[in-house]
Chains A and B, each alone.
Chain A
Amino acid sequence: MNYFTLSKKSSIAYLLVSLLLVGGCASNRVNRQTYRPAEARKVDKASQFLKVHMSNGYVYVLNSWEIDDTAGVKGDGKLFDYNRDLVKEGSFQIPFRDVSLFETNEVNPPPQIVAMSLVTGVSVALTLYCIANPKACFGSCPTFYVWDGKRMQVQAEGFSASIAPALEERDIDALYLARPTNRDLEMWVTNEALETHVIRYAALLLARRTENGRVFVTPSGEFYQTDSISGPATATAEEGDCLGKLSAVDGNEYFSTADSANLASTEEIQLRFDRVPGGNLGLVLGYRQTLLTTFLFYQELAYMGNSVGYWIAGLQQDKLGFAKAVKSQLWGALGAVEVLVQDKDGRWIKEGEVSEVGPIATNVEMIPLNIALPESAKIKLRLTRGLWRLDYAALARITARVEPERILPKSVVRGDSIVDNKAKEEMSGIAGPLVTLPGDKYSVIYRLPEDYRNYELFLDTKGYYLEWMRKEWADEENAGMALMMFSNPGKYLRILAPEFKKIEPQIERSFWSSKYVEH
């Protein structure tokens, strides 16, 4: 909805000016003092005006004045009679004997002006900050919350790369931190951004796990039971030791800053594992993206400007191969988190990669390793600088491949209390799709097996979403740059590097502080 008929920037500018003008017009507080002639010495000489009330009801209003202890009052001003008609204007010499009272008025700004001015200052600064960083504000993706033992925690973001119907795809996310407390697992499905979400389905996948093991999904959607999960003995990035940041899925993440000349520049992290178990192994990674892709996405929308509808339609028609270009060239240029293993000859062999798009929820995935590792093994991660946040790395012994059981929603509640059977069917893939708008929230109940603690939970979603265009973005419309993202993403990433570096230090804080709605 447009709150203003003017452009947003103009409206905000008018608003700020109005705030300042209103503040400047606020009134003052009056402190009136009266003095008998005998108290003439006490009269506040700093007062700009002096009123001299006479015994006959007349009053002098003097705008420059002085009191002589013996002669009386001298000054310039006006004399009014008791009906307050003007009698005379000019200089006066007023003897004390005819004076009844002196009156001064001290006028001060009220204290509430100070408080309101402070709040205005903070508010204006905040507004200017959000204007200056439009691509740092109001961002999100389809988000899914599940109980983690302490609170409802965002544990998955669905199909974050599916930014148009043509890019619709299935997405499987591990609910790695889910801690169901009974057979009815509650999941919140929320739309927290200025986006339209189109959800074909949101199903739960349950994979049985062993007592001490866990089940991991690979980027290609295969599920493996594992046991003997162990972290690295050392983890070294270019900046130094990062072992502590990779020890658990706890939000304490390793990440670097982007290269100032090329957003596709890479870095490497060296992992060393001791006492590697025998058998088939997989490298488990917990990761998510930084806001670099969010920036690139929003910047591309800005370059598309008012023509964004044509571009999205073109993407849908795919006459120019845009969809393929996004999937292969752009993501290819940006790069994944590549996993390389050193073979017995010392060569680094790429074993796979993880690359799920999205800055909100941590993905936990496993790359099965084809090369048999020695007891002390080295694994290298190659990743794009400033693009990835790594939370976890571990080796797991694969014991079996499993097929998960698929669970559809048992019930769906819209908002806080409205039972929505239509949404239940839509989220089950029976009807639909379910379309959500900013601020929408659904509480979905999945019925788990009796021995639900023996299952690993995954979220299986399919759909796409449409980012809402912001007026401030349209100012940067540039068809050439918009096309470059598809035709020459390498160059595109080099050109945008300085722009991203300008906002990189504060983009995380701005992004998380500016969700359209908090659930």
Chain B
Amino acid sequence: MSNTNLPALKLLLVAAIAIFSGCASVQAPSGYLPGASETQWDVYGGWITVAYSDSGTINTADGEFIGFQDSVVYVLTKSEPVSIRCEDVRSASFDIYSKKTWLFAGWTLLGSVSVLSHGYYAVLSLPLWLLTGIPSTISESLDGRYAENTPTIYWWQSISKFSRFPQGIPKQVDLRELKLKRFSL
């Protein structure tokens, strides 16, 4: 390979690292979250990860966001429902739908590779791809995601519409009977 291509390839490598390092990772199990369009008819809550204080230790609960009511957060984990007082929450992150970050990353990388056919025009087209592609990929990874340290009640109220029971936990519902969404990997 000619050494002239090395700077371009290095730039591509740096771009790839930048793309993926700037992206938020989704903690929901693969296959759980619906696509963005599917949220129109999906009847489950989004996937939430909550770090909370419990008797002096920090625990984590991750599962379906069931609801928020009376300053209590309800999470249906894979093993059991968990209720967490709002003031005990240290941090929370929440995804509504599955992102297609890899598509944007792939789109950017394919586009960046395509400039090899541009000759000297690549001096313009490669930065154009990177300057557009990297922010777009990062933006896509953050889309539909809420994350907060020591979230307030208002924050919980604002995202409760993405829970299974946005109206609050129904009186008739026994949380112990709730089943997690069946999903395939």
Known pairs A29-B143, A517-B4 / 14 extra A-B pairs, C-beta < 8 Å: A12-B117, A23-B107, A27-B140, A27-B143, A103-B166, A105-B39, A107-B39, A112-B104, A116-B132, A126-B117, A126-B121, A438-B4, A439-B3, A517-B120
Are A61 and B36 interface neighbours, CB within 8 A? no
- CB-defined A-B contacts under 8 Å, sample of 29: A15-B114, A27-B143, A29-B144, A32-B162, A34-B161, A34-B166, A53-B166, A57-B172, A82-B170, A84-B43, A84-B181, A101-B166, A110-B139, A112-B104, A112-B139, A116-B107, A116-B111, A116-B133, A119-B129, A120-B111, A122-B128, A123-B114, A123-B125, A124-B114, A127-B117, A439-B4, A514-B120, A517-B120, A518-B120
Tell me if B123 counts as interface (CB < 8 A to partner A): yes
Tell me if B58 counts as interface (CB < 8 A to partner A): no
Tell me if A46 counts as interface (CB < 8 A to partner B): no
The contact string, 1 if C-beta is below 8 Å from chain B, for chain A 47-88, is: 111010111110101010000000000000000101110000
Minimum C-beta distance from B129 to chain A (A): 6
- Residues 50 to 98 of chain B near chain A (Cβ within 8 Å): 96-98
| A512 CA to B119 CA, complexed, in Å | 10
Q: Which residues of A contact B165 (CB under 8 A)?
A: 53, 57, 82
- Residues 1 to 50 of chain A near chain B (Cβ within 8 Å): 1, 3, 8, 12, 15-16, 18-19, 22-23, 25-30, 32-34, 47-49
Tell me if B184 counts as interface (CB < 8 A to partner A): no
Tell me if A131 counts as interface (CB < 8 A to partner B): yes
| A129 CA to B181 CA, complexed, in Å | 51
Minimum C-beta distance from B35 to chain A (A): 7
Which residues in A have some Cβ–Cβ distance to B below 8 Å?
1, 3, 8, 12, 15-16, 18-19, 22-23, 25-30, 32-34, 47-49, 51, 53-57, 59, 61, 63, 80, 82-84, 100-101, 103, 105, 107, 110, 112, 115-116, 118-120, 122-124, 126-127, 130-131, 137-138, 415, 437-440, 512-518
| A257 CA to B97 CA, complexed, in Å | 60
Are A56 and B2 interface neighbours, CB within 8 A? no
Are A57 and B170 interface neighbours, CB within 8 A? yes
Q: Which residues of A contact B128 (CB under 8 A)?
A: 119, 122-123
User: What bracket does the count of chain B residues touching chain A fall in?
Assistant: 35 or more
Partner of A83 from B103, B161, B179 at Cβ < 8 Å: B179
- Evaluate whether A22 and B43 lie within 8 angstroms (CB atoms) in the complex, with A57-B173, A437-B2 already known: no
| A80 CA to B181 CA, complexed, in Å | 13
Q: Which residues of B contact A19 (CB under 8 A)?
A: 107, 110-111, 114
Interface of A is mostly: mixed
Interface of B is mostly: helix
Q: Which residues of B contact A55 (CB under 8 A)?
A: 167, 170
Are A26 and B107 interface neighbours, CB within 8 A? yes
Tell me if B41 counts as interface (CB < 8 A to partner A): yes
Minimum C-beta distance from B74 to chain A (A): 12
- Residues 112 to 130 of chain B near chain A (Cβ within 8 Å): 113-121, 123, 125, 128-129
The contact string, 1 if C-beta is below 8 Å from chain A, for chain B 143-182, is: 1100000000000000001101111101011000111010
- Evaluate whether A30 and B119 lie within 8 angstroms (CB atoms) in the complex, with A15-B113, A119-B129, A517-B4 already known: no
Minimum C-beta distance from B9 to chain A (A): 10
Are A123 and B167 interface neighbours, CB within 8 A? no
Are B103 and A25 interface neighbours, CB within 8 A? yes
Are A22 and B166 interface neighbours, CB within 8 A? no
Are A61 and B43 interface neighbours, CB within 8 A? yes
List the 7 shortest-distance A-B pairs measured between CB atoms, nearest first: A439-B4, A514-B119, A100-B167, A112-B136, A57-B170, A28-B36, A22-B107
Partner of A32 from B3, B5, B161, B173 at Cβ < 8 Å: B161
Are B44 and A27 interface neighbours, CB within 8 A? no
Tell me if B22 counts as interface (CB < 8 A to partner A): no
Q: Which residues of A contact B139 (CB under 8 A)?
A: 110, 112
| A33 CA to B40 CA, complexed, in Å | 11
Partner of A516 from B4, B117, B133, B173 at Cβ < 8 Å: B4
Q: Which residues of A contact B1 (CB under 8 A)?
A: 1
Partner of B2 from A32, A63, A439 at Cβ < 8 Å: A439
Q: Which residues of A contact B177 (CB under 8 A)?
A: 83
Minimum C-beta distance from A13 to chain B (A): 11
Q: Which residues of B contact A53 (CB under 8 A)?
A: 165-167
Are A26 and B132 interface neighbours, CB within 8 A? no
Are B110 and A18 interface neighbours, CB within 8 A? yes
Across the two chains, which residue of chain A brings its CB closest to B114? A15
Are A26 and B167 interface neighbours, CB within 8 A? no
Across the two chains, which residue of chain A brings its CB closest to B162? A32
| A170 CA to B110 CA, complexed, in Å | 45
* Central interface residue in A3, A29, A123, A126, by most chain B CB within 10 Å: A123
Tell me if B37 counts as interface (CB < 8 A to partner A): yes
Are A126 and B178 interface neighbours, CB within 8 A? no
Q: Which residues of B contact A415 (CB under 8 A)?
A: 3
- Evaluate whether A27 and B106 lie within 8 angstroms (CB atoms) in the complex, with A116-B132, A119-B111 already known: no
Are B118 and A127 interface neighbours, CB within 8 A? yes
Are B144 and A22 interface neighbours, CB within 8 A? no
Are B170 and A56 interface neighbours, CB within 8 A? yes
- Evaluate whether A119 and B132 lie within 8 angstroms (CB atoms) in the complex, with A28-B37, A438-B2 already known: yes
Across the two chains, which residue of chain A brings its CB closest to B102? A22
- Evaluate whether A115 and B118 lie within 8 angstroms (CB atoms) in the complex, with A27-B143, A80-B43 already known: no
* Central interface residue in B116, B117, B121, B165, by most chain A CB within 10 Å: B117
Are B161 and A16 interface neighbours, CB within 8 A? no
- Evaluate whether A30 and B2 lie within 8 angstroms (CB atoms) in the complex, with A131-B117, A514-B121, A515-B120 already known: no
